[in-house]
Each structure stands twice: as structure tokens, then as C-alpha cells.
Amino acid sequence: MKKLSSGSNVTGGAGRPMPLDAIDRLLLDELARDGRMTNNALAAAAGIAPSTCLGRVRALVEHGVIRGFHADIDPAALGRDLQAMIAVRVRPAARSHLAEFGEQMAALPEVENVYFIAGADDYLIHVATADSGELRTFVLEHLSAHPAVASTETILIFEHVRPGRRAAS
């Protein structure tokens, strides 16, 4: 599943941020480490009843704190061994169509994530391709040829180290 990532705030009912207590934060930490953890194991880790745990997790989902549960698939397992981050600067005349550009990029099969960012560039696009030739084709056909794009800079990813994950021994 592709994501157009945003820095939107998590809000409760009337547009106010949902208050998170220490137990909510512990539940979130545990689920971030293992999204497949059973409710009983999660409740035990938090020191609360399973019914209380289930209610809290449901509330976190309903309020958008937990945006979803998904499989984290290694692109290399699908033959997409080369990953890159591509910084994209949009032309001033196209600024009124920034969201549309982001959605177009997110729909492309090579794209893992799209980030709308602050700074000199407008977007950071995470792509996974089979090899450098496919990456070159992606940049030329989908970015350099796009009328909204002023410039790009491609940064190759050698390794992705995730916080909170223990290395396999």
C-alpha cells in the first residue's frame, strides 16, 4: 500500500488532539515493535485487563493515532533491489497543484512513499526499482518529463535501519 505521508495532527472528536496517557504510549510502543501481538499479550505487557486493552486499542484506531496495521514487505523480495529517495522541486507555476502532483506520484508502482516537505525541495519520493536502469527510466519518464518538475536530486539508499528493531542474531 502506498502512502502520501503527511504531518497531520491526530485529533479527537471536536478537532482537539487526543490525550495519550502512559498506558496508551506503552500500547503504541509495543504495537510498533510487533503489530501482530495478541490482545492478551499486549494487555499483559501493559498490566491491564484484556477488555480494557481492546477498548484502548480501538479508541486509538478510531481517533487516527493508529493509522493501520500492515505487512512491511521488503521490496528486494519482489525483485526491486535498488531503493532511492528523490528530492523534487516543483516549478513555481505549478505550486497550485502540489497535492495533485503528490497523488500522481503515489499512484506509480515504483513509489513506496511520498513526503511533502519543507525546505528547498517540495517532495521527497521513496522509490524501489529492479536496478539503476529502471531507476533512470523512472526519473526521466515520470519526473524530468513532468511539466510541474523544476529539478530532482536522487539519493541511493544502502541500508534502512529501523528504530526499535533488534538485529537478527
Amino acid 137 reads T
* 122 contacts 89 by C-beta, under 8 angstroms: yes
Contacts of 14 (CB under 8 A, 6+ apart): none
Q: In this structure, what C-alpha cell is assigned to residue 72?
A: 512491511
- Indicate the domain borders of the chain: 22-63, 75-157
How far is the CA of 135 from the CAs of 93, 161, 162, in angstroms?
A: 27, 22, 24
Same topology, domains 22-63 and 75-157? Answer is no
What is the CATH code for 22-63?
Answer: 1.10.10.10
Q: Which fold has domain 75-157?
A: Alpha-Beta Plaits (3.30.70)
pLDDT at 103: 97
Task: Please name the amino acid found at residue 79.
Answer: G
pLDDT tens for the chain, 169 residues: list them.
Answer: 444 444 444 444 445 678 999 999 999 999 999 999 999 999 999 999 999 999 999 999 999 999 998 888 899 999 999 999 999 999 999 989 999 999 999 999 999 999 999 999 999 999 999 999 999 999 999 999 999 999 999 999 999 888 766 555 4
Three-state DSSP class for residue 106: helix
